[in-house]
Structure 1
């Protein structure tokens, strides 16, 4: 199980209202039975995104998120090798020990909520910064320009 994205819940301060709202969005989108399961998905997926996203897009996304989510994103050191969307999903599945189907579900639920908070313009900028295959993870068509 991944541990760098999670800490012991008992020792933390209560979550902010913004983070509680984010968790509720993820819980709804992912049809998770508990807020704790939604929190686990948020931390896992945002930690993975934090290892991939750099530059102004990383900073701007962190500004759009509640503090707890922004910390999970920004505490990660970006990897030296950018991953395609498919490789990102496989990496998250490997780190979590979950199936690819479950991982893809978690990614979709979290990215839907993140997209709602960040807005379409920032998500478009993020997608232009990342390698191929990420648009589908954000619920968008992965279209390429015609030659």
Structure 2
């Protein structure tokens, strides 16, 4: 494992703190579900770059997914996560998604996250705790 690559424990603890989850197990489950859903949307070099920056276990979750033909809108993404978590509503799913994605910029750096955001439809930046990404030529 690379010295600057965060550990799975680092990621789950950051999610647990951000989402104020009572247990590590709950934070771990939410992290797995959200990263799995993200893996459905990220392709190409952005997928490889994100996987290289993430903890190995998280990278495997993303890499194991087959990307969809068309990425979902941010709202559809939240709904897809809600469908994967028993008892989740759109509001709780948004909390889960934001709890996981918002820790990624600090944990893995802005560059891999910005590259992923550039690939996704408008609206995802807020889920990552960022203002909407604006690329300049």
Residue equivalent to 2:115 = 125
Give yes or no for the alignment of 1:141 onto 2:136. no
**CA-based RMSD:** 1.6
User: Scaled by the length of structure 1, what TM-score is found?
Assistant: 0.82
TM-superposed CA distance for 1:95, in Å, is 2.5
Residue equivalent to 1:78 = 67
Work out the CA distance in 2 between the residues paired with 1:78 and 1:143: 22
Give yes or no for the alignment of 1:28 onto 2:17. yes
Gaps of 5+ in 2: 1-5
- The answer (yes or no) to whether the contact 2:81–2:93 under 8 Å persists in 1 is yes
Runs of 4+ in 1 over 6 A off after TM superposition: none
Work out the CA distance in 1 between the residues paired with 2:111 and 2:133: 16
Work out the CA distance in 2 between the residues paired with 1:67 and 1:125: 19
Please give the per-residue CA displacement for 1:39-92, whole angstroms capped at 9, x wherever unaligned. Answer: 011100000000000011111111111111111111000011211111101111
Change in CA separation of 1:77 and 1:29 when aligned onto 2, cut-off 3 Å: same
Matched position secondary structure for 2:7: helix
**Largest Rg, 1 or 2:** 1
User: Scaled by the length of structure 2, what TM-score is found?
Assistant: 0.87
1:40-59 to structure 2, matched below 5 A, reads 40-59=29-48
Per mean C-alpha deviation after superposition, the further-off stretch among 71-80 and 119-128 is 119-128
Gaps of 5+ in 1: 1-16
Aligned residue pairs total 129
Change in CA separation of 1:125 and 1:143 when aligned onto 2, cut-off 3 Å: closer
Work out the CA distance in 1 between the residues paired with 2:50 and 2:40: 14
Change in CA separation of 1:143 and 1:54 when aligned onto 2, cut-off 3 Å: closer
